[in-house]
Structure 1
Amino acid sequence: MTLTSLSNMPNFHVIFWRHAEAEDAAGSAQGDEVDLRRNLTKQGRRDAAQVAGWIKSQLPKPWTVISSPAQRARQTAQHLNDYPVIDPRLRPESSMEELLSVVSEFPREGGALVLVGHQPILGRAGLYWITGCDQQFSLRKSGLLWAVERSREVGIQRSLRACVSPDLLGD
């Protein structure tokens, strides 16, 4: 690939979107069967719809939505796409390496990528992908990090495009 062709490649957009508020599941542990079946609350459905509306108005198409297998993440993702791709590498107890492998394997000419997953790994992975800094980064429920990867003559550059939570979007 030449330097000219690198600079002509389209920007690659990645959104790291935390699932919206879910029902409590007393006595469950993160990633167990009871935890994976938790549904969104009424507020969670409202927030997911609001953030999905914002994403639809801002993110260039085409996009692919990939969700954790947990019910709350799938329900959040379905506000953006009726049939999100389900990937176990986004499950609640996944590692940062597993989650980032989803991003690294995604074809750069495939449009934008929206990952719907869980804290604490989603925020940490998003921060790491953008900056290379391995630190905790907390995303509020239904909050997101939107990053853009650009190919430039000097190499790959990544930048933060937006960090949004539902309370910033108003009613």
Structure 2
Amino acid sequence: MELILWRHAEAEDTTPDLTRELTGRGRKQAARMADWLNPRLPPDIRILASPATRALQTAQALGREYELAPVLAPGASAEDVLAAASWPDAPYPVLIVGHQPTLGQVAMQLLAGQAGDLAVKKGGIWWFQGRERAGQLQVVLRAVAAPDWL
């Protein structure tokens, strides 16, 4: 299974939190990352987005269908994200559009098998692949990218 974690792009610093919109720079970040992702995404990808406006706007940059996933709202746990993605057993690849620190906590869990935080840049992605070897789940980090690198 493949799991892609995409942090929403730069957003306005306003309240309420769930209605914060992307800034002009954030819209450019989301578009740049979407341009990079689209030719690389598997055709059967399932896209799940937090209900926060900034995450929905980031997901919309892909120009693909996505599902609103309330469980991915700010404050979600790493376990919530992995459950929403059906990791590692989903029969299809999943792209999660969400928030820090949750996405960094998921990345730490996948890479090190323990609690902790890793920094996921605004608009950045971490792309993981899970595979079974000798009856054990192995997690491979396929890519890390940020919009300002592309």
Q: TM-score surpassing 0.5? A: yes
Which residue does the alignment assign to 1:46? 28
Q: Which has the higher helix share?
A: 1
Separation in 2, partners of 1:155, 1:149: 10
Which residue does the alignment assign to 1:66? 48
Separation in 1, partners of 2:71, 2:133: 30
The Cα of 1:155 is off from its aligned counterpart by 2.4
Larger radius of gyration: 1
- The answer as to 2:117 corresponding to 1:136 is yes
Instruction: Note the aligned Cα RMSD (angstroms).
Output: 1.6
Alignment of 1:70-85 (within 5 A): 70-85=52-67
TM-score by length of 1: 0.81
- Counterpart residue type for residue 118 of structure 2: F
**1:76-101 deviation per Cα after TM superposition (whole angstroms, max 9, x unaligned):** 01112443101111101112221221
Alignment of 1:92-171 (within 5 A): 92-104=74-86, 108-110=90-92, 112-169=93-150
Q: Which moved more, 1:83-92 or 1:98-107?
A: 98-107
Q: Is the 8 A contact 1:18 1:116 kept in 2?
A: yes
Which residue does the alignment assign to 1:17? 6
**1:107-142 deviation per Cα after TM superposition (whole angstroms, max 9, x unaligned):** 5322x2100000011111122123313211111100
- Structure 1: which 5+ residue stretches go unaligned? 1-11, 29-33
**1:142-170 deviation per Cα after TM superposition (whole angstroms, max 9, x unaligned):** 0111000112334221110011111110x
Change (3 A) 1:19 1:106: same
Q: Is the 8 A contact 1:18 1:122 kept in 2?
A: yes
The Cα of 1:56 is off from its aligned counterpart by 1.1
- Identity among equivalent positions (%) equals 39
